């Protein structure tokens, strides 16, 4: 059995979060999810994730705020998504080091492609199998 990627999913739309969890878990990935940015930061402090998928607009903070806070704890690649992000917001996300910025409504095929690209770029492994050189 291969070691599955651990994904931190941060999305405040309950229905979308549930369907994304199902979609990602269906690919054999281990998903931890929350609707709240501050909870995501706590989760990242307590456990190791390989990468995160975040909504831009979260209650009380932005996904960019969350990415920056997590990066201060432990560097981790991120994919950001948004239904109504402006060009300025997507630029902010890219400046913060977000790997990909996806528009909503989310195209699951495009999400899968983005995740595959992120895995290949950051972990260089065969897709779906993390390669951790330091363990």
Contacts of 119 (CB under 8 A, 6+ apart): 5, 51, 125, 127, 128, 130
Distance CA 32, CA 53 (A): 10
Domain assignment present for 46: yes
| 106 domain residue, yes or no | yes
Q: Per this entry, what is the length of the chain?
A: 135
Indicate whether 1 belongs to any domain.
no
Q: Is residue 57 part of a domain?
A: yes
| pLDDT score recorded for residue 43 | 98
Residue 75: give the domain boundaries. Answer: 6-123
Residue 103 belongs to domain with CATH number: 3.40.50.2300
Residue 131 lies in a domain: no
HSE-CB at 108 with a 13 A cutoff on CA atoms is: 10
Mean local confidence (pLDDT), 94-110: 93
Instruction: Give the list of residues 6+ apart from residue 97 with CB closer than 8 angstroms, or none.
Output: 67, 71, 78
Identify whether 135 is part of a domain: no
Spatial CB neighbours of 8, under 8 Å, sequence gap ≥ 6:
32, 33, 34, 40, 43, 44, 49, 51, 52, 53, 70, 76
If one counts the domains in the chain, the total is 1
* Pair 29, 130: CB distance under 8 Å: no
Q: Domain for residue 29, yes or no? A: yes
Domain assignment present for 134: no
Report pTM.
Answer: 0.89
Q: Please, which pLDDT band fits residue 3 given cuts at 50, 70 and 90?
A: low
The model's pLDDT over 40-60, given as tens digits with 9 standing for 90+, comes to 999 999 999 999 999 999 999
């Amino acid at each position: 059995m291969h070691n599955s990627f651990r994904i931190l999913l941060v999305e405040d739309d309950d229905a979308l979060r549930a369907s994304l969890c199902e979609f990602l878990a269906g690919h054999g990935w281990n998903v931890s999810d929350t609707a709240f940015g501050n909870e995501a930061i706590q989760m990242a402090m307590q456990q190791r994730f390989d990468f995160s998928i975040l909504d831009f607009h979260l209650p009380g903070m932005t996904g960019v705020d969350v990415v920056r806070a997590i990066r201060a704890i432990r560097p981790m690649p991120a994919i950001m998504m948004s239904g109504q992000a402006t060009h300025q917001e997507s630029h902010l996300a890219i400046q913060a080091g977000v790997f990909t910025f996806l528009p909503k409504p989310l195209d699951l095929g495009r999400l899968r492609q983005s995740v595959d690209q992120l895995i290949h770029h950051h972990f260089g492994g065969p897709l779906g199998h993390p390669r951790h050189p330091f363990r």
